[in-house]
A and B are shown apart, each in its own frame.
Chain A
């Protein structure tokens, strides 16, 4: 109950931010030359002026900008995200269809980056300035410096084109119709390369943070006390150091959730995944205002939710931080 009340308060506090973001996006897109009918004309290779006028009426573009924004906000107040111009469906439906791949990709990339970042960071810290540390740190630097679209394409060339181990793109094998566990495995196979591509750059960040944070905590007094008590080194690291060293990692997850949503545009394009990132890109190109604002709205909610979970995790990891304060 306490958690729910907290969640409600958080959401209420973010409402003004959300409103500002939406209005900003709306106005920004007005500055972009051309509207969704121009985009439609480009796509179909032309049409006459009467056709264009009729389409503008059809999409409700004949109203003024202020009226359009006001109508949009009014509808949003009733949780109606409007109608998508390019998909011809309610925006909420379009987004709900695209949300699972993005969330799956984000969750798997985050878990991958978090888990391996943690393990490699701990190993590097415990062997600091010896060869495992040098190796891990160099690898981390390489991952951090590689652009993800390039890494994705190279992964496709090696694992799909030459070795033919993994599919080159898509979310599932559409020439087969799998059910049950086979369908899950099929999707998992399709997500291996995208997860690696999206996760590696974050892995590099996490391992650097984890290494630094471990080194700092290892030098603190309570660690010396623990060792003086006669605890084994493994126990010292697992019970005393790790928990404290994880605080900055958790902070980062909250901060980077938004970045990851943005980074998935590239990965979704390269691997032809039907996710939210690509939808956002298409909406901008097609000037589909309703869809774009809907995505911004949902993404903002997602980031707020993740940060909320992070706050609760904080309190768990460090009892001195109360979630009430």
Chain B
């Protein structure tokens, strides 16, 4: 037996929850070109306008946010040097870093923060529009102070956890005239970051080079970063082996290739550096179908699925059973595993279905449901066939309906023409940013990844609203525990698998994965060994 076993990998995975800089003793070497796999091309590269990993992987090196996360996952200043919040949570003051210039030479000031927050985060940025819904104004008493004023309390913890992703600053002088969305700087970004944008050839590559005027002394170490657009997963794995790509972020390779390259001494396949980018696999129920509106049926479905078996045999070391909508990596809000759970028990499932009045008919079939799997990620395709096979055992016939991305979102979240759907819930630092929208009623029809189930629970709505504006961190944590207990009992949707994105590194990359959102972060201290 050579190489680590699956068990070792699991242990390594958990040991890596707190990232430690690998080989910190070596002296960083300047120079070199870091080549990165860019799997899906984005329409724009500006992280102030579009919150997605596909944008951060490029734009996060060129533009900077007010804050980032340190190795332990705590907020650390980037463009903000310090911050303080009023006890009522209505004002938050950020002292900005001095002596920072944009790539075009203009100075970075509080006016840029004000403009970006009011015109981009509050009006355009996905997730930002919800987060900053009650942002009234950003005051700029001087060029290096920005005061955020809210009309309802904004918990400091929520704001600080959200800002590394939803707090990227764009230059006001570039964007203030004309339509923000059509500004050419959206695909040729201008920032304050360690790397300057050079060239974007659609369908081929993006190049950024070292910013010689970067505010951190003697950084960055790399000369250039080149993102190579490779749509085909197998071809990307081959390019890694040929040395044309040194880093494949966000599980961009196939599960088999990630495991194979992980056993190769030249590479490291790890969840380290992605702890801030966790996702859970969902099972979404449509309550418009009376069969599924019965809680016994939803629970029976959950009891029919052997989640540990599925993970062990299909997903390998990069996944583990989920215990609810707030994943275990969320140290501040994870309520622990002692919430209502649905273990694998087909006898119980059969009994529940019988009790609900769904007797087995011809061929042992009780009833038929349509299952829509989301088209992103091979784990979803595997999971949907596993659901089909497992539910067949308890007499529920499943018809799988496969659609592409646009078709899936339209059919499930706008037309509601589904019975079961399965995809990913991506946890974004705080339940109020990404998670409670899946449960809060009143979401407009067509908003993807929100409560479109035709289900409403006023008690749960009240908990969600209270938690979103609770400024006391202890009370807030308790509210989220109540929330998880309630939704795990009611089961409007189920999140039984927890996965952290996998990075495949060439081992020449140093300081790789040294913070929980490394793939999205600035890479100012990244360097390449010869």
Chain A contact residues, CB within 8 Å of chain B:
32-36, 38-52, 58, 85-88, 94, 97-98, 153, 156-157, 160-161, 164, 167-171, 174-175, 269-272, 274-275, 278-279, 282, 285-287
Query: Given that A33-B411, A34-B410, A269-B231 are known contacts, is A175 also in contact with B405, CB under 8 Å in the complex?
Result: no
- Whether B181 and A58, one on each chain, are in contact in the complex, defined by CB atoms closer than 8 angstroms, is yes
Closest CB-CB distance, A190 to chain B, in whole Å? 11
- Whether B244 and A38, one on each chain, are in contact in the complex, defined by CB atoms closer than 8 angstroms, is no
- Whether A168 and B244, one on each chain, are in contact in the complex, defined by CB atoms closer than 8 angstroms, is yes
Cα A286 to Cα B234 in complex, Å, equals: 22
Interface locus among B47-55, B330-338, B465-473, B474-482? B47-55
- Whether A51 and B404, one on each chain, are in contact in the complex, defined by CB atoms closer than 8 angstroms, is no
Query: Given that A45-B51, A271-B235, A272-B235 are known contacts, is A175 also in contact with B406, CB under 8 Å in the complex?
Result: no
Candidates B129, B204, B244; contact of A47 at CB < 8 Å: B129
- Whether B35 and A175, one on each chain, are in contact in the complex, defined by CB atoms closer than 8 angstroms, is yes
Candidates A33, A35, A271, A275; contact of B403 at CB < 8 Å: A33
Contact with A along B393-411 (1 / 0, CB 8 A): 0000000000111111111
Enumerate chain A residues within 8 angstroms of B242, measured Cβ to Cβ: 156, 160-161, 164, 167-168
Closest CB-CB distance, B255 to chain A, in whole Å? 17
- Whether B202 and A40, one on each chain, are in contact in the complex, defined by CB atoms closer than 8 angstroms, is no
- Whether A278 and B203, one on each chain, are in contact in the complex, defined by CB atoms closer than 8 angstroms, is yes
Enumerate chain A residues within 8 angstroms of B205, measured Cβ to Cβ: 170, 174
Enumerate chain A residues within 8 angstroms of B126, measured Cβ to Cβ: 44-48, 51
Enumerate chain B residues within 8 angstroms of A32, measured Cβ to Cβ: 404, 406-407
Cα A83 to Cα B450 in complex, Å, equals: 31
Closest CB-CB distance, B227 to chain A, in whole Å? 10
Q: Is B238 an interface residue (CB 8 A)?
A: yes
Enumerate chain B residues within 8 angstroms of A38, measured Cβ to Cβ: 405-407, 409-410, 414, 448
- Whether A174 and B228, one on each chain, are in contact in the complex, defined by CB atoms closer than 8 angstroms, is yes
Interface residue count on the B side (C-beta < 8 Å): 63
Enumerate chain A residues within 8 angstroms of B86, measured Cβ to Cβ: none
Q: Is B499 an interface residue (CB 8 A)?
A: no
- Whether A42 and B226, one on each chain, are in contact in the complex, defined by CB atoms closer than 8 angstroms, is no
Chain B contact residues, CB within 8 Å of chain A:
33, 35, 40-44, 50-55, 124, 126-127, 129-130, 181-182, 186-187, 201-205, 207, 224, 226, 228-232, 234-235, 238-239, 241-242, 244, 376, 403-411, 414-415, 426, 443-450
Query: Given that A40-B43, A50-B129 are known contacts, is A168 also in contact with B406, CB under 8 Å in the complex?
Result: no
- Whether A168 and B235, one on each chain, are in contact in the complex, defined by CB atoms closer than 8 angstroms, is yes
What are 26 sample pairs from A and B whose C-beta atoms fall under 8 A apart? A34-B407, A41-B448, A43-B52, A44-B51, A45-B52, A48-B126, A58-B181, A88-B44, A98-B202, A153-B234, A153-B235, A156-B242, A160-B239, A168-B238, A169-B235, A174-B204, A175-B33, A175-B35, A269-B231, A269-B232, A270-B232, A272-B229, A272-B235, A275-B203, A279-B203, A282-B41
Enumerate chain B residues within 8 angstroms of A86, measured Cβ to Cβ: 41, 43
> Which of chain B's residues has its CB closest to A173's CB?
B244
Cα A169 to Cα B407 in complex, Å, equals: 31
Closest CB-CB distance, B508 to chain A, in whole Å? 14
- Whether B406 and A287, one on each chain, are in contact in the complex, defined by CB atoms closer than 8 angstroms, is yes
Query: Given that A41-B409, A167-B244 are known contacts, is A272 also in contact with B228, CB under 8 Å in the complex?
Result: yes
- Whether B202 and A87, one on each chain, are in contact in the complex, defined by CB atoms closer than 8 angstroms, is yes
- Whether B405 and A285, one on each chain, are in contact in the complex, defined by CB atoms closer than 8 angstroms, is yes
Among B187, B203, B244, the most chain A Cβ lie within 10 Å of the Cβ of B203
Cα A174 to Cα B227 in complex, Å, equals: 10
Closest CB-CB distance, A37 to chain B, in whole Å? 8
- Whether A169 and B410, one on each chain, are in contact in the complex, defined by CB atoms closer than 8 angstroms, is no
Enumerate chain A residues within 8 angstroms of B50, measured Cβ to Cβ: 44
- Whether A43 and B124, one on each chain, are in contact in the complex, defined by CB atoms closer than 8 angstroms, is no
- Whether A33 and B406, one on each chain, are in contact in the complex, defined by CB atoms closer than 8 angstroms, is yes
- Whether B235 and A34, one on each chain, are in contact in the complex, defined by CB atoms closer than 8 angstroms, is no
> Which of chain A's residues has its CB closest to B428's CB?
A45
Give the 5 A-B CB pairs with smallest separation, nearest first. Answer: A34-B406, A274-B203, A47-B126, A49-B444, A42-B405
Enumerate chain B residues within 8 angstroms of A85, measured Cβ to Cβ: 43
Cα A315 to Cα B455 in complex, Å, equals: 72
- Whether B130 and A161, one on each chain, are in contact in the complex, defined by CB atoms closer than 8 angstroms, is no
- Whether A174 and B232, one on each chain, are in contact in the complex, defined by CB atoms closer than 8 angstroms, is no
Closest CB-CB distance, A40 to chain B, in whole Å? 7
- Whether B238 and A160, one on each chain, are in contact in the complex, defined by CB atoms closer than 8 angstroms, is yes
Cα A170 to Cα B446 in complex, Å, equals: 38
Enumerate chain A residues within 8 angstroms of B42, measured Cβ to Cβ: 43-44
15 more CB-based (< 8 A) A-B contacts, given A48-B444, A50-B129, A156-B235: A34-B405, A38-B407, A42-B406, A42-B448, A43-B42, A45-B52, A45-B426, A47-B448, A153-B235, A170-B205, A170-B228, A170-B244, A174-B204, A174-B207, A270-B234
> Which of chain B's residues has its CB closest to A279's CB?
B203
- Whether B239 and A168, one on each chain, are in contact in the complex, defined by CB atoms closer than 8 angstroms, is yes
Closest CB-CB distance, B443 to chain A, in whole Å? 8
Closest CB-CB distance, A271 to chain B, in whole Å? 7
- Whether B447 and A49, one on each chain, are in contact in the complex, defined by CB atoms closer than 8 angstroms, is yes
